[in-house]
Chains A and B, each alone.
Chain A
Amino acid sequence: MALHLNLFSSPFFIEQDLNMHIPDGYLSPATCGVLGAVMLPIWTVASKIVKKTLRARQVPYLAIGAAFSFVIMMFNVPIPGGSTGHAVGGVLIAILLGPWAACIAMTVALVVQALLFGDGGITAIGANCFNMAFVLPFVGYGVYKLMGVGSPIGSKRRVFASGVGAYVGICTAATVAGIELGLQPILFHTANGQALYCPYGIKTSISVMAGGNLLVFGWIEVLVTVLVFKYLQKIKDSSLFLLGKKMVDKKND
């Protein structure tokens, strides 16, 4: 009955809920449906690209990538003021696996969380995947690639690029989540003005979501991404160096 004890030991998932992981009930079924529909072609393209690049390797590679994203969330980073927080790790996974593989890996992690741990939304899975498996890794990786292209993988510029990518990625994803939440009272309300889903307007939700990430959570993401990247540079991790080589090769081609 050890699970009883752990009811109060604050599993790491709840901390993620405080930020971007939207549970069922905050978004209308229409919003969930639209975002799920948007994700369908993204998942299709992602699976095609991953299948083409990884071939038979894709299942163990992505499964381990998804499990690794859980590991990132397990580690609480001490932050000034005596608090701790954890990173989502979407940009770090995108740097290590590539953005398409990161999209699938993050989706797998979100599905496991929603279905097996009863955490996160089942109807909101499309919305959560859009924010955390699409916007977060793609924006972050895009910034990283833009800033780091042409420079050697072991350079300081790459470390800086990974940090900026992580910060921009998480803040953009949070802002997008804020927009989704903020649209609810505008689009879905009763005749007397009662909000049917998330009650906060777009200004409030964007301010809270983006503000929290700009000031605190974004920096946790930066800290984890930069320090892990630096460590992998130091030990000359094969995944980092292979990916970096491809990027430099592409530029030279």
Chain B
Amino acid sequence: MIRTSSLRNGSFIERSLLAAVSFIKEATLFEEYASRQGFMQGLAPGIKILTIFLLILTAVILKDLALIGLLYGLCLALALFSEIPITFFLLRTLIFIPLFSLFIAIPAIFSSVSPGQVLRQIHIFGITGMITSQGCQSAALLVARITTTVSLAVLVSLTTKHAELLKSLRHFGVPQIFVMTVSMCYRYLYLFAVMVENICGAIKSRVGIVIPHKRGQKFVAWNIANIWSRTNQMSEEVYRAMLSRGYTGEPRSLQRIKKNE
């Protein structure tokens, strides 16, 4: 939850904010891969979610590194057959969580965390560490498992239109009201991202300078509070708009979900 961002040009708040805004905007609008005619795209969203969930569960249950490796190979093959460029897929899946997990797993290879059969002794900054077989195996298992599960989760989100993905939750007994709330939240994300971007632009155009480090905290708090006030007002307006269209509190879908979808 912490970022060691450089303060070289002093605009760290704006940069980090706009990066997040841009990520949300693109993630909510960018459905290029979901629109392609690949293998995963051809599957019904409900079946796809179930399959991926079972594969993730298998990856979590498996204790054999080779079998997890096979599962990861299957995931990459599915990405290829789904017309997802493999470099893009690897970067998208490996950069964050698996890389972070690798850093987390490194201390686990030493005897202080995982006692057992010593494989090698190393000296770092005058400290002697003993790498154990058990430590290496548990660290490798953790990283392999996380890489596979993250890749599978990203695969389903890349190859499915998000609206269809949410709709298919109903196949698994998720109440319609929850699906409706999740769908609505998802649509608001884009709106909020635009709102945050506009606030940044407005401040920059009026103030014309970067925000000093000390005032940054107040700037952030003011923005969050301001967005809350606006969203609170918006929820009332949205509710009234829904009421005027005949909403009674019980969500009804115009599209029926077919059993084979």
The reply to whether B218 and A56 form a contact with Cβ atoms under 8 Å apart is no
Cβ of A117 and Cβ of B114 under 8 Å apart? no
User: Least Cβ distance of A65 to chain B in Å?
Assistant: 8
Q: Which residues of B contact A88 (CB under 8 A)?
A: 1
Which residues from chain A contact B156 at a C-beta distance below 8 Å? Answer: 115, 118
Is A207 part of the contact surface with B, judged by Cβ < 8 Å? no
Instruction: Please choose the segment from B72-80, B121-129, B175-183 that sits at the chain A interface, where 4 or more of its residues have CB less than 8 A away.
Output: B175-183
The one of A12, A61, A112 that contacts B186, using a Cβ cutoff of 8 Å: A112
Main secondary structure of the interface of B (DSSP, over half): helix
> Is B105 part of the binding interface, using a Cβ–Cβ cutoff of 8 Å?
yes
Q: Which of B44-80 contact A (CB under 8 A)?
A: 52-53, 56-57, 59-61, 63
Tell me, rounded to whole Å, the shortest Cβ–Cβ distance linking B237 to chain A: 9
Asked whether A67 lies within 8 Å of B192 as measured between CB atoms, the reply is yes
A119: chain B residues at CB < 8 Å are: 96-97, 153
Say if the beta carbon of B188 comes within 8 Å of chain A: yes
Which among A134-142, A147-155, A196-204, A245-253 touches the partner chain? A196-204
Decide if B81 is an interface residue (CB 8 Å cutoff): no
Q: Which of B63, B100, B249 contacts A56 (CB 8 A)?
A: B249
Chain B residues with Cβ below 8 Å from A216 are 2
For B155, what are the chain A residues with a Cβ–Cβ distance below 8 Å?
118
B1 touches A18 (CB 8 A): yes
Query: What is the total number of residues of chain B having a CB less than 8 Å from a CB of chain A?
Result: 108
> With the chains together, A99 CA to B228 CA distance in Å?
17
State the Cβ distance, A15 to closest chain B Cβ, in Å. Answer: 5
Q: Are A56 and B243 in contact (CB under 8 A)?
A: yes
Could you say which residues of chain B place their CB within 8 Å of the CB of A198? 142
Which residues of chain B are within 8 angstroms of A217 by Cβ–Cβ distance? 1-2
Determine whether the beta carbon of A9 is less than 8 Å from that of B19: yes
In the complex the two chains form, is B231's CB within 8 Å of A67's CB?
A: yes
Whose C-beta in chain B lies nearest to the C-beta of A227? B221
A31 to B114, CA, bound (A): 21
Report Cα–Cα, A199/B146, bound state, in Å.
13
CB distance from B62 to the nearest CB of A (A): 10
The answer to whether A60 has its CB under 8 Å from any CB of chain B is: yes
Cβ-based interface call for B27 (8 A) = yes
Q: Is the CB of B53 within 8 A of A122?
A: yes
Instruction: Report chain B residues within 8 Å CB of A74.
Output: 17, 20-21, 24, 193, 196
- CA A61 to CA B184, docked complex, whole Å: 10
The yes or no answer to B35 lying at the interface (CB within 8 A) is no
| Neighbouring B residues of A16 by C-beta, 8 Å | 1
Q: How far is the CA of A7 from the CA of B166 in the complex (A)?
A: 24
**How far is A26 from B135 in the complex, measured between Cα atoms in Å?**
15
Is A15's CB under 8 angstroms from B3's CB? yes
Query: Per-residue 0/1 for A196-225: is the Cβ within 8 Å of any B Cβ (1 yes, 0 no)?
Result: 111111001000000000001100100110
If A17-B97, A71-B227, A231-B222 touch, does A26 touch B142 (CB 8 Å cutoff)? yes
Cβ contact within 8 Å between B224 and A228: yes
- List the A residue with the shortest CB-CB distance to B115: A193
How far is A61 from B247 in the complex, measured between Cα atoms in Å?
Answer: 14
Q: Which residue of B lies closest to A238 (CB)?
A: B232
**Given A112-B189, A190-B63; A76-B16 close (CB under 8 Å):** yes
A78 vs chain B, min Cβ distance (A): 4
Binary contact readout A1-45 vs B (1 if CB under 8 angstroms, 0 otherwise)? 011101111111111111110011110110010000000000000
A66 at the interface (CB under 8 A from B): yes
Q: Is the CB of B23 within 8 A of A6?
A: yes
Complex Cα distance A227/B217, Å?
8
B87 to A, closest residue via Cβ: A4
The answer to whether A61 touches B228 (Cβ under 8 A) is no
Instruction: Specify which of A25, A108, A109 is in contact with B149 (CB 8 Å cutoff).
Output: A25
Which of A24, A73, A235 is within 8 Å of B150, CB to CB? A24
A sample of 25 inter-chain contacts (CB < 8 A) reads A2-B26, A7-B95, A25-B101, A25-B145, A58-B249, A60-B238, A62-B185, A70-B192, A74-B17, A74-B20, A83-B3, A96-B228, A112-B189, A115-B165, A116-B27, A116-B157, A122-B149, A123-B57, A193-B115, A198-B142, A199-B114, A200-B113, A216-B2, A235-B229, A239-B232
